[in-house]
């Protein structure tokens, strides 16, 4: 027995991690994949019924699924793009020496440590049409109040604003960590050559920050694609289906209509989308010649 352990010591040490990954990731995904080929309403009396690819056919002919897919992409792209631009700007500002720098960095952590449901409820009060401070602020400027969360045209931009408020500090802190670790030699050489601030930023700072920015964007994009709590806490996908992203629609199919097969098919499509975007981003990072 001891000899067998010595011969397979590398497998003995790695097996607990392999078993953990199998139990926590592979089994749930595999079970969801299996359910996506069945019809089931969570009943103990009626077992899952094999329907092959019918759930996928129904899903791709469902206009609500197509709409929820586009809403998810709209929310993700807009949120991450704004957060990245603002995050880089804030990181550059915080990289300067000023009084209270430590306090500012601490305050930046507050939106991230708050629970998403609590953040959602706070923003429901902020967006409230009659007493919310958002409309009070607009009225002080002489502008009419807006129906932030109840207008089909405004609800997605309003949700994007919440996400930007909550997660821009994360991008800023990651980029700031990258900024403070940059070598000083290129900047000193640029100063000697007479480069101005914009040339230094565009030709030196930004290229050197590429690995950090790629990492921040990848992490934030995967998280934004999975956003559920903020949307459900503020609008529950409404008004109507104006903010019903693919995560909300999956919840509605599974736990309101009890169409577990269709919900599982939706989750498998969503899993492939997240996986594809992650692989594309990693390939893009490698093609750009940067490493984490």
Give tens-digit pLDDT for 166-217.
Answer: 999 999 989 998 888 888 888 888 888 888 888 888 888 888 888 888 888 8
225, 72 contact by CB (below 8 A):
yes
Give the predicted TM-score (pTM) of the model.
0.86
Which two tokens mark 179?
A: 């900024």
| Strand partners for 39 | 49
**CA 76, 212, 192 angle in degrees (round to 5)?**
130
**CA 92, 84, 246 angle in degrees (round to 5)?**
160
Q: Per-residue pLDDT for 24 more than 60?
A: yes
pLDDT band at 64 (very low <50, low <70, confident <90, very high): very high
pLDDT score at 181: 86
pLDDT score at 288: 63
CA–CA gap between residue 227 and residue 268 (Å, rounded): 16
Per DSSP, the three-state class of 38 is: strand
169, 119 contact by CB (below 8 A):
no
Please give the torsion angle defined by the CA atoms of residues 245, 251, 252 and 256, in that order, rounded to the nearest 10 degrees.
Answer: -170
Helix axes 260-287, 246-255, angle to 10 degrees: 160
């Amino acid at each position: 027995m001891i000899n067998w352990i010595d011969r397979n010591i590398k497998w003995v040490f790695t097996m607990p991690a392999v078993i953990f990954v199998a139990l926590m990731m592979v089994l749930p995904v595999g079970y969801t994949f299996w359910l996506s080929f069945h019809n089931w309403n969570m009943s103990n009396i009626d077992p899952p019924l094999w329907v092959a690819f019918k759930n996928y056919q129904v899903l791709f002919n469902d206009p609500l699924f197509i709409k929820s897919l586009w809403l998810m992409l709209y929310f993700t792209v807009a949120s991450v793009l704004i957060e990245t631009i603002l995050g880089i700007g804030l990181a550059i500002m915080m990289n300067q020496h000023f009084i209270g720098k430590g306090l500012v960095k601490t305050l930046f952590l507050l939106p991230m440590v708050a629970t998403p449901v609590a953040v959602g409820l706070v923003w429901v009060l902020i967006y409230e049409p009659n007493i919310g401070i958002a409309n009070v602020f607009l009225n002080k400027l002489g502008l009419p109040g807006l129906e932030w969360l109840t207008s089909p045209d405004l609800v997605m931009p309003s949700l994007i604003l919440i996400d930007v408020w909550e997660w821009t500090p994360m991008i800023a802190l990651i980029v700031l960590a990258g900024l403070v670790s940059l070598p000083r030699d290129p900047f000193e050489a640029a100063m000697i050559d007479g480069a101005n601030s914009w040339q230094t930023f565009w030709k030196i700072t930004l290229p050197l920050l590429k690995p950090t920015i790629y990492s921040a964007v990848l992490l934030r994009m995967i998280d934004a694609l999975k956003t559920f709590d903020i949307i459900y806490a503020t609008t529950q996908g409404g008004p109507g289906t104006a903010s019903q992203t693919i995560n909300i629609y999956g919840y509605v199919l599974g736990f309101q209509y009890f169409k577990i097969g269709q919900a599982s098919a939706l989750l498998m499509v969503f899993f492939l989308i997240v996986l594809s975007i992650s692989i594309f981003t990693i390939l893009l990072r490698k093609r750009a010649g940067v490493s984490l």
